[in-house]
Structures are given as C-alpha cells and as structure tokens.
Amino acid sequence: MARDRNRWLSAYALIVYGLLFAPIVVLIIFSFNKARRGLVWQGFTFDWYPKLFANDELLDALTVTLEVALVAVIVSTVIGSLLGLGLARLRFRGRGATETLLLVPMITPEIVMGLSLLLFFLQLFDAHGSLTQLWIAHITFCVSYVAVVVRARAASMDPRLEEAARDLGASAWGAFLHVTLPLIAPAVLAGGLLAFSLSFDDYVVTTFNAGVGSSTLPLYIYGKIKFGVTPEINAISTIIVAVTAIAILIAWRAGAFETGPRQPVADEAAG
C-alpha cells in the first residue's frame, strides 16, 4: 500500500514539476525566435545569443542583479534565521511586538516600501539611489521571509536537544553549531532560496532605490515594454537557467546535496 501511494505521489510530483517547467521550456524555445518582438514563432535563429554578449547594458544589469541578490541573500539569511530562531525558542520582552514587526514588511504594499526607502535616503543622506541602497532595500524585504520559514522549523524542534548538548559539556556556541544549526539547516537553505528569487526579480522597490549605474535586470527588462521585449531577454534567462542547472548537476554528482534518507541527529536523538 505504501508503495502504491509512493507511485501515485511520484506520478503527481512529475506532473507538478512538469508544470513548473512548462513556461521555462516555452521561454527557452522562444530564445531562438527570429521575430524581434512579439509572441509568434517566426523561424529559428541563434542570433540573440551573440547579440546578448555584445550588449553591455544588459550584462551590466545582470552583474548588478547578481551582486545585489548575493549580498541580500547572505545578510538576510543570517539575520533572518537568527530572528526566526529567537522568536521560536526564546522568551523575551517584546516578543509579540517583534512577531508583528516581522509581518509588517510583508504586508506593506511594495510601492509604499519603495517610496519610503527613497524618502529615507533622500531626506537623511541626500542619496539618490545606489548599489548600497539596493542592498539595504533588498535585505529589508527578504528578512521577514527567511525568518518566517526558519521560525516554522525551529518551532517544532525539541529544545531539550540543545539542553542535552549543554549538559554533556558543550558551550552555548558549540551547542548552537553542532545541534541547533544542523537542525534548522534545511530551513536556512529554503529561506536563502526564497530570498534569492525575491531579490532577483524585484521591480517596484528596486526602481525607486536604484541609482546611476545600478539598474538591475528587471529594470532593464521592464523598460523594454514600451518598445517591445526582444528574445535577448529569453536568451539571458535561458543562460541563467542553463548555468544554474549545470552547476547543480556538477554539485550533485560531487555529492554536495547528499543528505541521509533521514535526519541523522534529530531523529535518532528524538526517536
């Protein structure tokens, strides 16, 4: 019976993964479309790829996007994870208020957040947008997402594990490093992945906080709507997916993602 369910579930999973990638397949196909704009197939060409590598503005925008995403992911994952962990595990004054504080950035309409940061930097620092401003803005809207995911994981963690480690002589730091961190690691990874996709694709907050030389890929792409979006954008998306997929494949072959079929520490300890 369990095997049956496994098969049904696997078939279902295959379908869902198929649907997740369906638009990506279309996107890749249309990166070879002859038509300069529009959504109709007009024949095969490879031209958009060389064109893309000659397009400095597009490449600059990609670089900025990745720089911003990288910093946003690292910083928001660290402080967001700590915040999520603290909310789940610690009792401190103002915990309820902190929880509310965590929700508000997610609830704030993007334009309100974007313009509030624009005003903030303009009024207090006379700054008109910059890479640093983008870092700060992106970290700000990513923190909550990371914290909510980590909090959900940490909430169902047995606090006695850490205590046990302390009893066995581990330092607070040691207990954190060897017990807590491995336990919440999947949540930290999930939060980081979410933060990356949020930062990578953000438009509204970014447009009001980007400055000279810090236009990101989404700004470049949306700026194209007025005159038609060219398959160059499909091509660069294809390259990003391909490079990521290859990197993942290499890492996978190298065994980087090998996790045991079970949670080694937690389950054994709890079970």
Partner 1 sequence: MGAAVQPAETPAASTPAAAAPGRVARVRSAAVVLPGVGWLVLFFVVPLALIFVVSLGSRDALDRITLANPSLDNYARAFDPVFIPTFLNSIKFASITTILSLAIGYPIAYWISRYGGRHKVLLIILVMLPFWTSYLIRTYSWIILLRDNGVVNALLQAFGLTSEPIILMNTDLSVILGMTYGFLPFAILPLFVSIDRLDPNLIAAGRDLYASGRQAFLHVTLPLTMPGIVAAGLLTFIPALGDFVTPDLLGGPGTTTIAKNIQELFLAGRDWPYGAALGFVLMIVTLTGTLVALRTLRREVVGGD
Partner 2 sequence: MTDRHDGSSIDLEKELVRYMVENRISRRYLLERIALVGGAAALAPVIAACTSSGGAASAAPSSAAPSASASAAAATASPSPTAQPTPEDALNILNWTDYLADDVIKSFEDQFSVKVTQSFFSTTDEMYAKLGDDGGDYDISFPISVDVPNMIERGVIAKLDKSMLPNIVNLGQEWANPGYDPGNTYTVPYMWWTTGVGYDPKRIKEEPTSSKALWDARWKQHISMLDDWQEVFGLALIQQGHSANSTNTAEMDQALALLEQQKPLVRTYSTDTIGTMTSGDVWIGHIWGADRFAIQETIPEFAYYIPEEGGVKGSDTVATFTGSPHPVAAQLFINHLLDAHNSAANTNLIYYMGPNAAAKEFIDPAILSDPTINPDQKIVDKLEELLRLDQSVRDEYLSRWQQLRG
What's the min distance (Å) between Cβ of 256 and partner 1?
Answer: 8
Q: Which of partner 2, partner 1, none is residue 165 near (CB under 5 to 8 Å by kind)?
A: none
* Interface stretch with partner 2, choices 8-16, 36-44, 89-97, 164-172 (CB under 8 A): 36-44
| 243: Cα within 13 Å, side-chain hemisphere | 6
What's the min distance (Å) between Cβ of 68 and partner 1?
Answer: 14
- Establish if 23 lies at the interface with partner 2 (CB under 8 A): no
The residue (of 174 and 228) whose beta carbon lies closer to partner 2 is 228
- Establish if 200 lies at the interface with partner 2 (CB under 8 A): no
Q: How far is Cα 139 from Cα 146, in angstroms, rounded to an integer? A: 10
DSSP annotation string for 155-199: HTS-HHHHHHHHHTT--HHHHIIIIIHHHHHHHHHHHHHHHHHHH
Q: Which of partner 2, partner 1, none is residue 21 near (CB under 5 to 8 Å by kind)?
A: partner 1
Residues 55-94, one symbol each (x = binds partner 2 by CB under 8 A, - = not), give --x---x---------------------------------
The residue (of 122 and 177) whose beta carbon lies closer to partner 2 is 122
Query: Cα torsion for 179, 180, 185, 190, to the nearest 10°?
Result: 160
Of 143, 140, 139, 130, residue with least CA distance to 216: 130
**What tokens were used for 116?**
């509030």
State the residue for tokens 């910083």: 75
* Interface stretch with partner 2, choices 39-47, 80-88, 178-186, 191-199 (CB under 8 A): 39-47
The residue (of 214 and 221) whose beta carbon lies closer to partner 1 is 221
Count of chain residues binding partner 2 (CB under 8 A): 34
Q: Which of partner 1, partner 2, none is residue 181 near (CB under 5 to 8 Å by kind)?
A: none
Alpha helices in the chain (DSSP H): 2-29, 48-53, 56-89, 95-107, 110-125, 131-155, 159-167, 172-175, 181-201, 204-209, 217-222, 232-253, 264-270
Query: Cα torsion for 88, 91, 95, 98, to the nearest 10°?
Result: -50
The residue (of 45 and 66) whose beta carbon lies closer to partner 1 is 66
**Distance between first and last Cα of the chain:** 24
- Establish if 115 lies at the interface with partner 2 (CB under 8 A): yes
* Interface stretch with partner 2, choices 153-161, 184-192, 201-209, 237-245 (CB under 8 A): 201-209
| 154: Cα within 13 Å, side-chain hemisphere | 26
| Among residues 219, 231, 234, 237, the one that binds partner 2 under rule CB under 8 A | 219
Residues near partner 2 (CB under 8 A): 35-40, 42, 57, 61, 115, 118, 122, 128-129, 203, 207-208, 210-215, 219-229
